[in-house]
């Protein structure tokens, strides 16, 4: 029934569009076919339908309208006003009065609920739609009246309510799963980080030889262990930070600061990582840039993540450039540019997704969790901006974001 109802509604809309449209007339044969199909659909439609002119004189009625609203008397009435079952409610009487006073015709569709007893004294309930159509050079203005059985509309409404309830239930379940995931990440990260701090502390103490001298082999082994411990600590910190951001516990301490100094400090902190791979970090900073509104520590984290990614995916001996320039009177643009392996176009929308990683073993000298760009995006959203990424495979990647300039009058 629902499919038949949908098809009938679609065909009715098509008929209305055809009658109201002003497109070029089709060939005579096509017009005859169209008229035949339209007439057949109109007469056999499951929706009671009638057409009447501005004087309320009935032009057409389909079979369903005659059965439902005329009952045993199948003779077409002279006026739509004579179809008494249409006008038994207060709404119906008001509309009839308005139609009889043709100086104030409704320009928009009018919906009215009607109830009446049929010839078997059974209650019938319909939603009726009255619509006015402007005339043209070939046709006078007319009205259409279409009735929809309230049982159909009730069925549709019940189905819609059920679907909404199902979607709402699924959404709540997903929200609960997401909350549990964030709590799990936070708990796991904390439980891993606590013993790791102790382990790293003792490794540093042993490496300092305060607990006794070390052989050359022991020193090399400790250096490898410390490096891996630092890498593990960095990944756990990323998980913990992301979990806090997901839980909405990330606090922003926004201040006014000049960018060149912050960028210089960040680049200096990243040079040892770049030097290990023989990669040069260049800075191109426009002169006399105004102060921006930032959380210095969080923006430092964003810059570190972007620069580290560029180093990670760049070939040995290449160059990474950090730029800052005036994008508009109100914005400063910061971008990190590399000439690395680049990112495929179909992956650009995915790389900011938490835990998403592009597996490319030949260009990834070190592993990660796939949280770096997701963390960057959350931090930048808190600054009222977002991370924009442009990339071409084999040519490199540019990551950029804008920061708001301090209001000179503020």
Kindly report, residue by residue over 376-389, the tens digit of the pLDDT.
888 898 899 999 99
CATH top-level class of 255-404:
alpha beta
Q: Where are the beta strands (DSSP E) in 109-161?
A: 110-117, 123-133, 142-149
pTM exceeding the 0.85 threshold for the entire prediction: no
Structure tokens at 131: 């619509």
Q: Which range is most confident: 66-80, 103-117, 129-143, 299-313?
A: 299-313
Distance of CA 157 to the CA centre of its chain: 26
Q: Which of 113, 110, 137 lies closest to 124, judged by CA? A: 113
Annotated domain spans of the chain: 2-156, 181-246, 255-404
In this prediction, residue 28 carries a pLDDT of 67
Q: Which of 142, 67, 368 is nearest to 237 (CA)?
A: 368
Residue 242 CA to chain centroid, in angstroms?
Answer: 22
State the fold for domain 2-156. Beta-Lactamase (3.30.450)
φ, ψ (nearest 5 deg) of residue 320: -120, 130
CA-based radius of gyration for the chain: 36
Q: 324 has which bridge partners? A: 285, 334
Does residue 116 surpass a pLDDT of 50?
yes
Query: Is the pLDDT at 276 greater than 50, yes or no?
Result: yes
Residues 6+ apart with CB under 8 A from 119: 71, 72
Q: Which has more confidence, 141 or 263?
A: 263
Q: 230-234: which pairs have CB atoms within 8 A and are 24 or more residues apart?
A: 230/200, 231/366, 232/196, 233/193, 233/196, 233/197, 233/200
Residue 348: Cβ within 10 Å count: 13
Cβ-based burial of 224 (10 A; exposed 0-12, middle 13-18, buried ≥19): exposed
Q: pLDDT of 48-84, one tens digit each?
A: 999 998 888 998 888 888 888 887 776 788 899 988 8
User: Pick the residue with more confidence: 325 or 11?
Assistant: 325
Q: Give mean pLDDT, residues 221-245.
A: 76
Mean pLDDT of the chain: 80
Q: Are 199 and 229 in contact (CB under 8 A)?
A: yes
Rounded distance, CA 372 to CA 302, Å?
Answer: 8
Alpha-carbon gap, residue 318 to 395, rounded angstroms = 12
Q: For position 336, what pLDDT does the model report?
A: 94
- Tell me phi and psi for residue 352, to 5 degrees: -90, 0
pLDDT of residue 3: 47
């Amino acid at each position: 029934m629902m499919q038949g109802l949908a098809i009938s509604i679609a065909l009715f809309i098509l008929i209305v569009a055809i009658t109201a449209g002003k497109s070029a007339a089709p060939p005579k044969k096509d017009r005859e076919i169209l008229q035949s199909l339209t007439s057949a659909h109109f007469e056999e439609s499951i929706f009671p339908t009638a057409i009447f002119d501005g004087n309320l004189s009935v032009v057409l009625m389909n079979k369903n309208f005659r059965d439902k609203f005329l009952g045993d008397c199948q003779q077409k009435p002279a006026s739509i006003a004579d179809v008494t079952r249409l006008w038994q409610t207060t709404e119906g009487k008001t509309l009839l009065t308005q139609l009889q006073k043709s100086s104030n015709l409704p320009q928009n569709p009018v919906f009215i609920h009607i109830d009446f007893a049929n010839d078997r004294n059974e209650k019938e309930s319909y939603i009726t739609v009255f619509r006015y159509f402007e005339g043209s050079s070939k046709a006078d203005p007319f009205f259409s009246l279409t009735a929809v059985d309230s049982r159909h509309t009730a069925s549709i409404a019940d189905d819609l309510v059920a679907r909404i309830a199902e979607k709402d239930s699924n959404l709540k379940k997903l929200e609960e799963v997401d909350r549990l995931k964030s709590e799990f990440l936070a708990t796991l990260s904390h439980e891993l980080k606590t013993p790791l701090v102790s382990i790293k502390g003792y490794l540093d103490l042993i490496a300092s030889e305060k607990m006794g001298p070390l052989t050359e082999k022991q020193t090399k082994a400790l250096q490898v262990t410390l490096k891996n411990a630092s890498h593990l600590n960095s990944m756990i910190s990323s998980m913990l930070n992301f979990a806090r951001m997901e839980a909405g516990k990330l606090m922003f301490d926004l201040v006014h600061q000049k960018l060149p100094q912050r960028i210089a400090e960040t680049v200096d902190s990243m040079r040892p990582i770049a030097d290990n791979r023989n990669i040069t970090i260049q800075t191109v900073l426009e002169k006399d840039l105004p102060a921006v509104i930032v959380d210095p520590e969080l923006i430092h984290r964003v810059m570190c993540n972007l620069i580290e990614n560029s180093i990670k995916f760049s070939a040995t001996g290449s160059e990474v450039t950090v730029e800052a320039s005036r994008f508009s009177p109100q914005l400063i643009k910061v971008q990190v540019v590399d000439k690395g392996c680049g990112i495929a176009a179909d992956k650009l929308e995915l790389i900011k997704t938490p835990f998403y990683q592009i597996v490319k073993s030949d260009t990834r000298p070190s592993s990660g969790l796939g949280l770096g760009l997701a963390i960057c995006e959350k931090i930048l959203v808190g600054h009222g901006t977002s991370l924009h990424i442009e990339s071409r495979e084999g040519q490199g990647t540019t990551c950029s974001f804008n920061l708001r300039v301090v209001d000179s009058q503020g």
